Amino acid sequence: MAYSEKVMDHFSHPRNVGKMDDADGIGEVGNARCGDIMKMYIKVDDGVISDVSFNTFGCASAIATSSIATEMIKGKPIGEALALTNRAVVEALDGLPPAKIHCSVLAEQAVKSAIVDYYNRNGIDYDKEEFALCDDCEHCQLD
């Protein structure tokens, strides 16, 4: 299983790591099949993600996808952060081995889960169907 230089860089030197005590939204997702767990924290100012951090328990791909996802959404309006896809995460890392693509899905879902939590905390209505990727795995359920 070969990893790109970007995957190895984000694994060895992850960006935005750590718990955020004053987070406006917290999302936690996991995949029971592989044991990866991601927790994403966001700070929102005037509809823009002003700060983001994560804690991830998992493999090199899980840590790398979490790290790059934080870089991709930091400073972006919530709407742009919601547009983050697992495919964009994979492309930003110059690819992942096929067996590790699920890590990019978890990164996408962690971002969405943190935004859902932000919406819930602030009484902001949202379309729940917009946030579901699939209905056959527990990490995609955001209730």
Catalytic site positions: 34, 103
d(CA 93, CA 88): 9
Nearest to 48 by CA among 13, 85, 79: 79
d(CA 109, CA 88): 13
**Which of left, alpha, beta for 30 (phi over 0: left; psi -120 to 50: alpha)?**
beta
Contact call for residues 61 and 96 (beta carbons, < 8 A):
yes
56: left (phi over 0), alpha (psi -120 to 50) or beta: beta
Q: Decide if 44 contacts 78 (C-beta within 8 A).
A: yes
Residue 127 three-state SS: coil
